Every structure is written in structure tokens, then in C-alpha cells.
């Protein structure tokens, strides 16, 4: 089950955008591949990313081909997202209070155990939806805690001037793993339904090992100065800062609604291919075709951000999503569905880069962990409803009709980009965005608190 995800801001997407801000010093620094800690951690996470991609496609396939119910498949996805959401804010706060290494090791170990139990259930042929949902939720809980330590730990492992390059590599790696893992997951599922889950269980062990072997201290330091009295104080400060900044507020609210539509479509995408006569392998191939567009968008995004207005990139992404819904509902073959989403993803991936680049530039380091947790939580707060909505729409309108029904949400979201005043920051080139000082951030948080 996935350890991170969505337009609302996975950690890899959130930080990868610093690629656009790499300083000249980064070019003179030693290669990241000569950094033993980085290489070991990156390798472990790469294996885990591949395993996660394999099981991500296997979960809905397992439920769809066992029960035929889109709604039940959606319930499993929702359980994982609810679990991850429940620990996102505590994970970000705990990363500044307890051993980050422990979070990075224990999280994958718990996920490994959960996926191993799913493999056992699939091997026995006894598919219990409540049991699958419970294990998916457990995996999500562990994921949310581990995510909180990712960004602070990366800052300890990689020199500051190379953070952009490191996180850019992570984003590309994750998308490449998804490109490879999706068709592999379909093939493995066709061979034996339990195999994809066992593969993911083993892959999480590599992630835990990679984190455990890091030699550098990962913190947190115990003498960091003034701190809130509790974990809840940390969380509250991050929430107040986000509330006080119009751009950050927009990223959370708009991103949350967009993620609902995206999560709904992710399940309807699989159901639509099955509706068009495709089996598990066809789902894998169509998904792989679509991911080529995502990888292309990730590669092109830094250059596009330097040459195209940020607002233009966002407008293109919003309307590309809407148009793609119409086209996939109309085309008759699975590979054509994948081709339509290839084009849409090439346009939409830079959206994440635009939003996250400006967030990274705006938020001071002292608040980055808390704001990261708050924006990730806010953007994902409603994502768990996406798979449930997909099941409801498919039941009410049929699968193609359910896809078209998503336009009710997607078109207003695209229009909102044209009328909101919260995106004025995008009128300035990203290099000219002034980072908030800690005093500014404290003042914004205090103003938000006073307004309560």
C-alpha cells in the first residue's frame, strides 16, 4: 500500500521543486552518488517504491476481480488514506521531538508486516473486506508517521545546496518505479494473486534497512531553543501560519478538492479499462502508458517554470484534467485511455511543481516541517472520499457516466484558478519570491490566532 501520494503533495513532489532553485554551489559539490548515506537510503527507498507501485495496482485488482464491486475496492483505498491522514500531523510534529531514525525504520517495518498478512489472505483465497481494510489502514498509519521524518532527515544527509537535486531524483525515481511497477504488478497478479503483496512486504524491509544504516545523526537536536510546550503546540503553530497566508490557504483548500477528484478518477480509470474489456495486464499497460506522460512532465517542469508564466501552467493543468475526462469516457480501447491520460499527466505534473516551488520559497526553514505536515494533511483531508465517490458514481451512472460526472467538480476547480486573488504571488518569478522571516511567520500565526 502506498507510502505517500497526491497532488496535494507527496513529500517527493513537495521538495522536488527545489530543483528550480539549485544554487551554483551545487554544481561544484561532490556528486550525491558519492554520499554513502544518501546512496544507501535512496537505494532502499527505490526498492520500496517499486514494491509499493506493484501492490498499489494489486489492491484494487484483488477486490475488483474477487467481488466485482467498485465500491468495495474504493473502501480499501479509503481505509489506507484515512490511516495515513490520521498520523500526518502527529508525524510531522514527532519528527521534531523524537528520533527521526526510529520513525524511518519502524514505519516501513509495520508496513511490511501488514502487506505480509495481505499476502497470506490472498494466498488462502479468503478475501475478507474488513480484514483488508484494517490492514490497509494499519499501513496508512505507519506511512503517515514515517513521512513526517523524511524531509528533516534529508536535510541532515544532503548539503543544503543539493537538496533540490536530491529531491528531484526522488521524484523521478518514484515515477519511474510506478511506470515499471504497474505493469509488473498486473503480470504478477495474473500469475498468483498473493505475489504482489509479498513483493511489497519484502521491499519495505529494504527501506527500513536503508534508514537504519545512515551514519549521520538525524536529530532532532535537543537544544534548538524556544519550542512549544507540546506536540499539539507544534501542530497549532503550523496551522495558524497556513491560515494566515492566503496562498498557503489556497494550496490546501483547492488541492484538497482536486485530490478528491483525482482519487475518484484513479479508481474509475481501472474500472473503465475493465468495462472496456481489459484484464489485469491491460490495466498495467494502460497505466504505464499514462505514467510516461507524468515522467515527461516531471523532466520538463523545471524548464517550463523558467519560461512559462506560473499561472499559465496552472490554467493548462486544470483544463487538461477536465478535457481528459471527456475523452477517456469516449475512447473504446484500453490503450487509448492510457494515451489520453499520458497527455493529461504531462500537463498536470508541472502543476505540483509550480505550487510546491512557491511554497518552498515562501516558508522559512524553522516552520518547514510543521507547514509541510499541515499542507499535506489539508490537501489529503478529503482524499479518502474519492474512492467512495467513485463507487457511488459508478453505481448511479455506470462507469463511463461516473467519469463524466466528475466534471461537476473539475470544471469549477479550473475556473477558480482564473478568479481567485490568492495566487497573486505567482505573478512574481519564483526567484523573486521573498521568504517569510520567522518573525513574519510568527506574526501571521498570531494574526490567525487572534481572528479565531
Provide the domain count of the chain.
1
437 inside domain: yes
- What's the confidence (pLDDT) of residue 2? 43
User: Which residue pairs from 324-327 have beta carbons closer than 8 angstroms and sit at least 24 positions apart in sequence?
Assistant: 325/265, 325/403, 325/404, 325/406, 325/407, 325/410, 326/404, 326/407
pLDDT tens figures, 119-133: 999 998 878 899 999
Whether the model pTM is above 0.95: no
Instruction: Please report whether residue 330 resides in a domain.
Output: yes
53: in domain? yes
Q: Which residue has the higher pLDDT, 79 or 303?
A: 79
What digits encode the pLDDT tens for the residues 260-303? 999 899 889 989 998 988 887 888 788 888 888 888 887 787 77
Residue 32 lies in a domain: yes
DSSP 356-370: HHHHHHHS-HHHHHH
Closest CA to 99 of 48, 153, 151: 153
Q: Would you give the DSSP letter of residue 425?
A: G
Domain containing residue 315: CATH number: 1.20.1250.20
How does residue 27 score in pLDDT terms, banded at 50, 70 and 90? very low
Within a domain: 4: no
Q: How high is the pLDDT of residue 439?
A: 61
What is the rounded CA–CA span in Å between residue 208 and residue 44? Answer: 7
Residue of 143, 133, 73 whose CA lies nearest to 389: 73
Of 181-190, 212-221, 311-320, 347-356, the poorest mean pLDDT is in 347-356
First to last CA, the chain: 38
CB 204 within 8 Å of CB 408: no
379/372 Cα distance (integer angstroms): 11
Residue 210 inside a domain? The answer is yes
Query: Whole-number mean pLDDT of the chain?
Result: 82
Compute the distance between CA of residue 330 and CA of residue 348 in angstroms, rounded to an integer. Answer: 21
Q: Which pLDDT tens digit goes with each residue over 39-49?
A: 999 999 999 99
Residue 6 belongs to some domain of the structure: no
The closest alpha carbon to 387, from 10, 55, 70, 67, belongs to 70
Residue 225 lies in a domain: no
- Cβ-count burial 180-219 (b if 16+ within 10 Å, e if not): bbbbbbbbbbeeebbbbbbbbbebbbbbbbbbbebeeebb
Please give the residue range of the domain that contains residue 371.
11-220+231-451
Amino acid at each position: 500500500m502506498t507510502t505517500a501520494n497526491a497532488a496535494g503533495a507527496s513529500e517527493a513532489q513537495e521538495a522536488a521543486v527545489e530543483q528550480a532553485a539549485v544554487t551554483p554551489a551545487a554544481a561544484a559539490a561532490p556528486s550525491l552518488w558519492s554520499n554513502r548515506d544518501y546512496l544507501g537510503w535512496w537505494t532502499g527507498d527505490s526498492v520500496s517504491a517499486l514494491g509499493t507501485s506493484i501492490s498499489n495496482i494489486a489492491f484494487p485488482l484483488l477486490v475488483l476481480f474477487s467481488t466485482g464491486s467498485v465500491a468495495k475496492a474504493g473502501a480499501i483505498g479509503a481505509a489506507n488514506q484515512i490511516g495515513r491522514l490520521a498520523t500526518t500531523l502527529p508525524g510531522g510534529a514527532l519528527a521534531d521531538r523524537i528520533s527521526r531514525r526510529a520513525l524511518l525504520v519502524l514505519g516501513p517495518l509495520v508496513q511490511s508486516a501488514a502487506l505480509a498478512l495481505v499476502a497470506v489472505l490472498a494466498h488462502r483465497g479468503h478475501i475478507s473486506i474488513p480484514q483488508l481494510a484494517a490492514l490497509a489502514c494499519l499501513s496508512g498509519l505507519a506511512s503517515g508517521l514515517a513521512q513526517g521524518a523524511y524531509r528533516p532527515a534529508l536535510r541532515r544527509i544532503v548539503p543544503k545546496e543539493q537538496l533540490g537535486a536530491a529531491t528531484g531524483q526522488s521524484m523521478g525515481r518514484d515515477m519511474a518505479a510506478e511506470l515499471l511497477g504497474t505493469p509488473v504488478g498486473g503480470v504478477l497478479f495474473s500469475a498468483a494473486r498473493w505475489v504482489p503483496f509479498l513483493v511489497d512486504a519484502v521491499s519495505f524491509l529494504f527501506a527500513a534497512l536503508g534508514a537504519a544504516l545512515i551514519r549521520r545523526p538525524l536529530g532532532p537536536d535537543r537544544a534548538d531553543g524556544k519550542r512549544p510546550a507540546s506536540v499539539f503546540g507544534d501542530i497549532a503553530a503550523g496551522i495558524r501560519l497556513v491560515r494566515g497566508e492566503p496562498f498557503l490557504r489556497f494550496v490546501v483548500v483547492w488541492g484538497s478538492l482536486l485530490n478528491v477528484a483525482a482519487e475518484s478518477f484513479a479508481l474509475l480509470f481501472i474500472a473503465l479499462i475493465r468495462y472496456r474489456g481489459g484484464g489485469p495486464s491491460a490495466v498495467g499497460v494502460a497505466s504505464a502508458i499514462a505514467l510516461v506522460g507524468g515522467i515527461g512532465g516531471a523532466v520538463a517542469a523545471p524548464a517550463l517554470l523558467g519560461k512559462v508564466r506560473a499561472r499559465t501552467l496552472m490554467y493548462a493543468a486544470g483544463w487538461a484534467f477536465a478535457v481528459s475526462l471527456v475523452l477517456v469516457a469516449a475512447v473504446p480501447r484500453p490503450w487509448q485511455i492510457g494515451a489520453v491520460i499520458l497527455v493529461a499527466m504531462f500537463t498536470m505534473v508541472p502543476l505540483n511543481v509550480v505550487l510546491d516551488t512557491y511554497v518552498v520559497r515562501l516558508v522559512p526553514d524553522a516552520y518547514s516541517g510543521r507547514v509541510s505536515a499541515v499542507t499535506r494533511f489539508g490537501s489529503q483531508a478529503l482524499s479518502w472520499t474519492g474512492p467512495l465517490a467513485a463507487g457511488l458514481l459508478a453505481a448511479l451512472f455506470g462507469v463511463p457516466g461516473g467519469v463524466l460526472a466528475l466534471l461537476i467538480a473539475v470544471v469549477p476547480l479550473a475556473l477558480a484558478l482564473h478568479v481567485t486573488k490568492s495566487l497573486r504571488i505567482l505573478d512574481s518569478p519564483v526567484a523573486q519570491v521573498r521568504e517569510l522571516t520567522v518573525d513574519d511567520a510568527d506574526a501571521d500565526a498570531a494574526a490567525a490566532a487572534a481572528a479565531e
